[in-house]
Structure 1
Amino acid sequence: MPHPLIPDLRTLASQVAASAGFQVCGVQLLSHRIPMTLQVQLRLADGGDVNLDDCASFSGLLDAALEAGELLQEAYVLEISSPGIGEELSEDRDFRSFRGFPVEVRYTDARTGTEARREGLLLERDATTVHLNVRGRTVRLPRSDVLTVRLVAPTEG
């Protein structure tokens, strides 16, 4: 169950990010850690990747906003990063940016009605289909059957 402060923290982080030319991709509050850890994933507003300097500058801005907003009453560690590998693709921009990257697609198999997984290189996603290159062959999965598309680490072979 997500922490009840997540919506407020996401709103604050998104406001700070928008004013600085960034976009928030994810917010997690790990309250089981001592001190608790607030993790914020960030990308450039135009969809580009952030670098270490971007993360450091945003960290200072968000930290100041968190202190002023008094949302977190306890000590915390602030971690800023890019979404990186393992990111779930959802927007059209994601599918364009990661064309040719290895992905895992979870989908409902139309024949069996059960959940299945397929790995391959992302070719494209259009209005009706997700296209993958699986060992040199194009595999087309109906978009309506696709549950998730997630970046994965490349496999050797």
Structure 2
Amino acid sequence: MSKRETYEAKTEELLLPIAEENGVEIYDVEYVKEGSDWYLRAYIDKPDGVNIGDCEAVSRALSDKLDEADFIEDAYILEVSSPGLGRTLKKDKHLEKSLGEEVEIRLYKPVDKCREFTGVLKSYDADSITIDTAEKEMTFARKEIALIRLALDF
């Protein structure tokens, strides 16, 4: 397990009871470097959406637990937020909740001279994701997908 994966897993362990106490679920945890800064991001959600008070309560409690555990070597910035409307679908649980929803898929390499596709998420398995576009049903290998997220309609 990489340092990043270890930090994310340990943070999620610390976050689980905090999320339960605050009536939210953990959507994702990520530890990333942007520029010269490291960020530890916890995304939380609940059926009717999270608000600033939810984020603040979880952030304060998580910050205290992280200070106690003190397992992250680098200086980092802690952020707690909603995954947003155009949320990235990283895990199978995200895909499961999004079946029947419109998604955007961005590929590493073009297919038919196109790298981005939009359609309704029809199915997924360990190796592939299938969407229904306006024209046809399309299946993509997961290893070909750079990003999949909920589509935003305005």
Sort the TM-score into its range (normalised by shorter chain). 0.5 to 0.7
Q: Computing the radius of gyration over CA atoms, which structure comes out larger, 1 or 2?
A: 1
Query: Following TM superposition, where does structure 1 have runs of at least 4 consecutive aligned residues deviating by more than 6 angstroms?
Result: none
Q: Deviations over 1:64-108 (max 9, x none)?
A: 0121122356764321123333514430x3224333223115388
Structure 2 gap ranges (5+) = none
Query: Which TM-score applies when normalising by structure 1?
Result: 0.63
| Deviation at residue 9 of structure 1 after TM alignment | 2.6
- Identity, % of aligned positions: 13
Give the aligned residue type for 1:95.
L
Q: List aligned pairs for 1:9-28, cutoff 5 A.
A: 9-20=7-18, 21=20, 22-23=25-26, 25-28=28-31
2:44 aligns with: 43
Structure 1, 17-26 or 121-130: larger mean CA deviation:
121-130
Aligned residue pair count: 144
Q: List aligned pairs for 1:89-100, cutoff 5 A.
A: 89-91=90-92, 93-98=93-98, 99-100=100-101
Secondary structure of 2:115's aligned partner: strand
Q: List aligned pairs for 1:1-157, cutoff 5 A.
A: 5-20=3-18, 21=20, 22-23=25-26, 25-30=28-33, 32-33=35-36, 36-44=37-45, 50-72=50-72, 76-84=76-84, 85=86, 87-91=88-92, 93-98=93-98, 99-106=100-107, 117-127=115-125, 130-134=129-133, 136-141=134-139, 144=141, 147-148=144-145, 150-151=148-149, 154=152
| Deviation at residue 119 of structure 1 after TM alignment | 1.0
Query: Which TM-score applies when normalising by structure 2?
Result: 0.64
Structure 1 gap ranges (5+) = none
| Deviation at residue 23 of structure 1 after TM alignment | 2.3
| Deviation at residue 18 of structure 1 after TM alignment | 1.4
Root mean square deviation, CA, Å: 3.9
